[in-house]
Structure 1
Amino acid sequence: MLILSEYEYRDRRYVSLGIQTPGEPQTLHAVAEGALLDVFLTDGGPDAITALVEAAETVTVTAGDPELHALPPLLPTTGASLVSGFLGTHKSKADAIESHDGRPPIPKWYFKGLGSWLRTPGQPLVVPAEPIILIEEAEVALVHVNDDDGTPHYAGFTFGNDFCDIGLHRIHPGYTPSGKLCDTGISPYLFVGEPPRSATGRVTIERAGQVAWEGKFDCGADALYFTVEDMVDRAFSFPALRRPGLVNYLLTGADLSSFHDGFQVADGDRLTIEVASHGVVLSNTVQYGGTASSH
């Protein structure tokens, strides 16, 4: 499966192929602005993407170059992008999935943020100054790009951390939208292929340099109560998600996490999500934010 990522380096945007090997130099391809999105909008496929990237001018950077910054997959330089997702999608949470008036259960969509709010590995995940109960959530994130008519084109999938304040939800479900406004972690790697049936790995939470909690997860399609197709159809039934030129990052839900094991994430904790099945690692530090302005 083709895997690509994008970076900003010395005020220019580049594309890289494959997953970077830690400590090794990295080859960047100077693909023209918007050219990669155009291939997805025309459903060009992996071969067209590879040809575009390999024909571009290249530069090699050393590992750890401070001028190299990973970007969320396909994040537009200009134009709109939206992060959203679904609550309670896993079979492990089936007891909380309800039907109403005899109708089948409907996936519960929520707004998470703008694409510019996404945080790649190494960047802090900022939350309000006094969160109630924080929770990490390892999830598959689907990436769609809308054409000029608003028709969504599926580009591929990546992995994210739907970091949020579940404590607000526990106080009252009406507070759930506020709890979702914490920063969202995301991998820079876009897998150009169908959503994975299985995506397994391990979460490690470090506090003061020591492992404070560890646990496994499965966020693949086979672990979901709803089908990926039903969730995607539900999301794009709303015209707001079909705005021309919009890039959508759709989180498909999380398995059980540290909160369900009685652990509470704290300021300064390092959250590492290792998706072992796909060779992806997301590692971010939790940062409590400042108080709201009085003005």
Structure 2
Amino acid sequence: MSIIFECSYEGRRYAGLGIPAEGDPLTLHAVEEGRLRAAVLAGGPEAAAAVVADTAGTVTVPAGDPGLRFLPPLLPTATDSSLINGFMGTHRSKFDRAPEPDEEFTPPNYYIKGFGSWLRMPGDPLVTPADPVWLLEEPEVVLVYVNDDEGNPHYAGYSFGNDLNDIGLHLKNPWAWTPYAKLCETSMTPWLFLGEPPRTVTGRVAIERDGATAWEGPFSCGADSIFHRFGDMTEYLFSYPALRRPGLVNYLFVGADKASYHDGFRIEDGDRMVIDVSSHGAVLSNVVRYGPQAASVTERGPAAESATA
């Protein structure tokens, strides 16, 4: 299976093949923004890998070069042309039965997190509200879709993400406060796996505090772990015209299994979450940072003027 990634280096956009081994230099191929998305639309995911392999203008960059910045897969430059969204409560561990082979599809809960430009990369801090109730890491498969000029979604491949959220706030009022609970930053690996959505994904999460492991546990998030079928989920979602906007890149998080919260562990400011997707050789590590308290909001307009009159 091919794996591609994109990054910026010294003001230019580049792409590469495979997941670089830790400490090894990276061979980067110069690509114009949008070229790999166009290749996916023209010839499918493997066409994007062929573009990278055939592109001249390569540079070799040392690992850890401060000028190197990885990017979410196929991220458009336009900030409103990509979307972070996903499903909730999809895993079999959250149901008291197994699905029937011909069971009628019932859509799971859904959320929109924000623009794709809000995604954070491995090593970036993830900022939360200043006073979260109870944070929860969520290792997930992320399906990546690119819409063509007519708005038809094309599957590009998959990656892995951490949909950090405030499950404590969600549980206080699941029907109303879940959108607020999702207002924590989300991270994703830059690696785009060009195969079909994975059936089996396994690994471990470690929460590190003051340089030591404070909690760890296994996870699974492939199709075999999910109650719903991927095809049913995506077909239903893309029945909505708003998600078929021409040129949109869609980062679709498909749900997480039970994790540290279900063991009674509380993630704190400064903790590092390390998601080791051992089945696929990918690691996603981010430090949690509580955000500052909001400054006072200055109101303008007739309502504010009448209130002070």
> What interval of TM-score do these two structures reach, taking the shorter chain for normalisation?
over 0.9
CA distance in 2, matches of 1:45, 1:219: 22
1:158 paired residue number: 159
- 3-state SS of the aligned residue for 1:222? helix
| 1:9 paired residue number | 9
* Separation of aligned partners in 2, 1:169 and 1:244: 33
Deviation at 1:239, TM superposition (A): 1.3
* Amino acid aligned to 1:189: W
| CA deviation after TM superposition for structure 1 residue 54, in Å | 2.7
Count of residues in Structure 1 that have an aligned counterpart in Structure 2: 292
Moved more, 25-34 or 268-277: 25-34
Greater Cα offset, 121-130 or 87-96? 87-96
Indicate the SS of the match to 2:27. strand
Equivalent residue for 1:273? 275
**Contact 2:16–2:52 (8 Å) recurs in 1:** no
**2-structure distance, mates of 1:105, 1:34:** 35
Secondary structure of the residue aligned to 2:95 is: helix
Distance of aligned partners of 1:253 and 1:58 in 2 relative to their CA distance in 1, 3 Å threshold? same
Deviation for aligned residue 1:113 = 1.5
1:116 maps to 2:149:
no
Residue 292 of structure 1, CA deviation: 1.4
- Which stretch of structure 1 is more off in the superposition, 12-21 or 104-113? 104-113
Alignment of 1:211 with 2:213, yes or no, is yes
Asked if structure 2 preserves the Cα contact closer than 8 Å seen for 1:107 and 1:234, the reply is no
Structure with bigger gyration radius: 2
Map of 1:90 onto structure 2: 91
Shift of 1:47: 4.7
Letter in 2 for 1:131: P
- CA contact under 8 A between 1:275 and 1:281: conserved in structure 2? yes
Q: Which residue of 2 aligns with 1:229?
A: 231
How far off is 1:32 after superposition? 2.1
SS of match in other structure, 1:230: helix
Cα distance in 1 between the residues matched to 2:182 and 2:81: 19
Q: Equivalent pairs: percent with the same residue? A: 58
Show structure 2 runs of 5+ residues with no match.
99-103, 298-309
Q: Which is further off, 106-115 or 248-257?
A: 106-115
1:69/1:201 CA distance change after superposition, 3 Å: same
Segment drifting more, 76-85 vs 198-207: 76-85
**1:7-45 alpha-carbon deviations (Å, 9 max, x no partner):** 110011100100010011110000122211101111344
Partner of 2:20: 20
- TM-score, with normalisation over the residues of structure 2? 0.91
CA contact (8 A) 1:204 1:273 kept: yes
Question: What is the TM-score normalised by the length of structure 1?
Answer: 0.95
SS at match of 2:236: helix
Root-mean-square deviation (CA), in Å? 1.8
Q: 1:116 to 1:47 in 2, by over 3 A?
A: closer
The Cα shift of 1:63 comes to: 1.0
Partner of 1:71: 71
State how 1:93-104 maps to structure 2 within 5 Å.
93-95=94-96
The unaligned stretches of length 5 or more in structure 1 are 98-102
| Cα distance in 2 between the residues matched to 1:96 and 1:164 | 26
